[in-house]
Amino acid sequence: MARMRLKEMQKQLTRLTVVLLMALEATSQALPGCPHSLPGCPCSCGNVSPIPYPFGIGNSKLTGKNCFLEEALNLTCTNSTLYRGKGNVQILNISLAGKMDVLMQISEVCKNESLGREETYGYYISLTTPAFAISSEDNKFVTVGCDTYGYLNTFRNGTQSSTGCLTRCDSLQSVESMQRYGNCTGIGCCQVDIPPRMKNISFEASSFHNFNSTSDFNKCGYSFVVKNGNYLFSVDHLRRVPFNMTPLVMDWSVGNDTCEASKGRPGYACKSPDSECEKSPSEYGYRCKCKKGFQGNAYLPHGCQDILECSSNKHNCDSEDHCRETPGSFECFCPDGLIGNGKKESGGCHRRQPADAFKKIVIGAGVGLIALFLGISWLYLMYQKRKDIKLKQKFFQQNGGIILRQQLSTEEDSSQTTTIFSAEQLKKATNNFDESLIIGKGGYGTVFKGFLSNNKVVAIKKSKIVDQNQVEQFINEVIILSQINHRNVVKLLGCCLETEVPLLVYEFVNNGTLYDYLHNQGQGVNVSWKTRLRIATEAAAALSYLHSEACIPIIHRDVKTANILLDDTYTAKVSDFGASRLVPIDHTEITTIVQGTLGYLDPEYMQSSQLTEKSDVYSFGVVLVELLTGEKAFSFSRAEEQRSLTVHFLCSLKEDRLFDVIQVGLLDEENQQEIMQVAILAARCLRLTGEERPSMKEVTMELEGIKLTKKDPGINTDKICNESQYLLRETQSSCEHGDTSSQQNTEYDSLREHEVIDFGDGR
């Protein structure tokens, strides 16, 4: 029994020894000597080492699984020679960069002399594996011979493509005279580049069947693919090449799909966490490689290892001691007591010098001062910004902005709502109130041309300082005037209350004033009577609307040609009727501050200081006289008795000399009656007593009637004279004595008693 037990123990010990020896053999092959292969798989064959996974030979001795990733990468080691699969393609080297050196047979075509006639025979070489393609950048296709041409074919998607070259020569001397050793330039030897992505290849050498003249030295032709730098042509090769196989480089890949399509699949080959996938140059499958800073086999689970740049001297630090490893890279540093960044190109590390410390102190102080300055500047700007905001809020409240908002919120007609502009909007619209955009100046303010953000052109008035005690009246007037909607009244679009004095925004009228058109442009004589009569009628209609049809009657108080604007069709638009100034208000009408322009002022107003609608009628009568005569309302450049256009006109009308004062070129046979009727209407408007003047509504109706009245050749001059005498009874004394200065002087002296007289154009 003891002997049987001993024998049994010996058998078990023998079996355990065999297993341990096999494990040691597998471990010795897989771990220390074979870092690029699977465990238990051979990693060399003859002179080929290593054999990296995904390539492999047979099955693992440790696990029994395949040593290769896929069948196309299965290799065979026979008599210490490595072959692909069971074929006859010998493998010389395998690179994880996707390259593989192999030995390939050459194609040969020779003359068959045994048959007694000129026939040729040759060899057809092929390699059909989709995972392999001839490397276009590492090989050349070569043909050698004097009556030979070679083809290199590829088959893709059922179609064939070919490249190749041919060589012909008559004698050995011709080749020797044109070729040098090692050159393959077309005589006796030709070569071509290989197109990219050639797989499923075949190549063949062929003859032109023309060996008769070269049979003594060239009986065969050859075609082959060869690795760059591995073939040097010699004239002796025309007799016989000294080899039957050539080395060439193949591109290899794994899988049969793209990186994107393969990721996540069970068979995805890039196993290492520090690996990445790249596109195959053959456009079949993909390749795996280690990320930058790593090296090894990306196809193995932990095949990519961090490159130790510091210890392997793969760094640019001034020394290994100043190099620190990081994942996938490294960094240079300087230890305590040294300054610099540790890099060679930057001078490395060196000891801190006193001057350097002082320089750093200076730089630090400078940076600190700059930061302090920037901080103070920022705080100052923020303070100024808050100050500006508070100032705008103060002006807005001071100018009645809160009252205006409250009243606008109660308006029912949203189409007539006044726009409240910000100061920034109007500054931007006028380029910060650039003087080149000024289009008018007067006693009440300055008018700028502006361009809003929606490209709308407007007129923006900067008014003079107003009485803060009348803010509520001003706001009421802004709202009322913004609701005026008449084609012959300039539209008030809105206002800005964020400035010390309010800014008013009007529609822009682009053709100047009636005053400019009559007096300043030198073309007043070209304004036809028909146009003048239409302008007068439109202006009268606007004033009639303000007096009678507005929601609250409005007295303009400064009617003059300078306040009648013309658009591009010469349509009249009455402007500047008090919205830019605070006005006293009673229960029935809005009037403006006591102001006016010399030559247009109502004499009754000069005596009573009471402003009425008839004051506008008187001023409009002066406008009619300007349209008739083409003269200014008052001018010191004229003779003393003619300085006041009103007195001069009325005296001429009384003395039956009306046509003497009508502007030259204006009067003709067709418009005499109309001119006379307008002159009588003007005289009625100029009556000294306001009650005797017509209303603006009556003036408008009469002008409309004159426009529609047909020519009447019979003019009742007696009636006109009687009307003239009645109209001028209050100026008769001055006319009879030839002194027309009394009324003008009376007006002038009266005007001097008022401090608010405006001698500007009032726009």
Q: In this structure, are strands 445-451 and 457-463 parallel, antiparallel, or unpaired? A: antiparallel
Judge whether 169 and 211 are in contact, CB under 8 Å. Answer: no
Distances (CA, A) of 136 to 93, 190, 195, 225: 18, 17, 6, 11
Considering 558, 576, 602, 761, which one is annotated as catalytic?
558
Residue 441 is labelled as binding a ligand: no
Judge whether 312 and 295 are in contact, CB under 8 Å. Answer: no
Q: In this structure, are strands 147-156 and 275-279 parallel, antiparallel, or unpaired? A: unpaired
Residue 589: name the closest of 616, 607, 563 by CA: 616
The first and second tokens of residue 556, run together, are 């303009």
How far is residue 248's CA from residue 337's CA, in Å, rounded to a whole number?
A: 58
Hey, which residues does 520 pair with through a beta bridge? none
33: Cβ–Cβ under 8 A, 6 or more apart, which residues? Answer: 43
Peptide bond into 50 cis (omega under 30): yes
Hey, which residues does 254 pair with through a beta bridge? 286
How far is residue 429's CA from residue 461's CA, in Å, rounded to a whole number?
A: 12
Contacts by residues 213-216 (CB-CB < 8 Å, ≥ 24 positions apart): 213/170, 213/171, 214/146, 214/147, 214/169, 214/170, 214/171, 214/172, 215/111
Q: How many CB atoms lie within 10 A of CB 406?
A: 11
At 586, which helix (H) or strand (E)?
none
Q: How many CB atoms lie within 10 A of CB 403?
A: 17
Within its chain, how far is the Cα of 360 from the centroid?
43
Judge whether 524 and 518 are in contact, CB under 8 Å. Answer: yes
Known catalytic membership, residue 321: no
Distances (CA, A) of 259 to 268, 284, 285, 291: 9, 10, 8, 15
How far is residue 407's CA from residue 394's CA, in Å, rounded to a whole number?
A: 19
Q: In this structure, are strands 275-279 and 286-290 parallel, antiparallel, or unpaired? A: antiparallel
Rg of the chain over Cα atoms, rounded to whole angstroms, equals: 55
As annotated, the active-site residues are 558
Residues forming the annotated binding site for ATP?
462
Residues forming the annotated binding site?
462
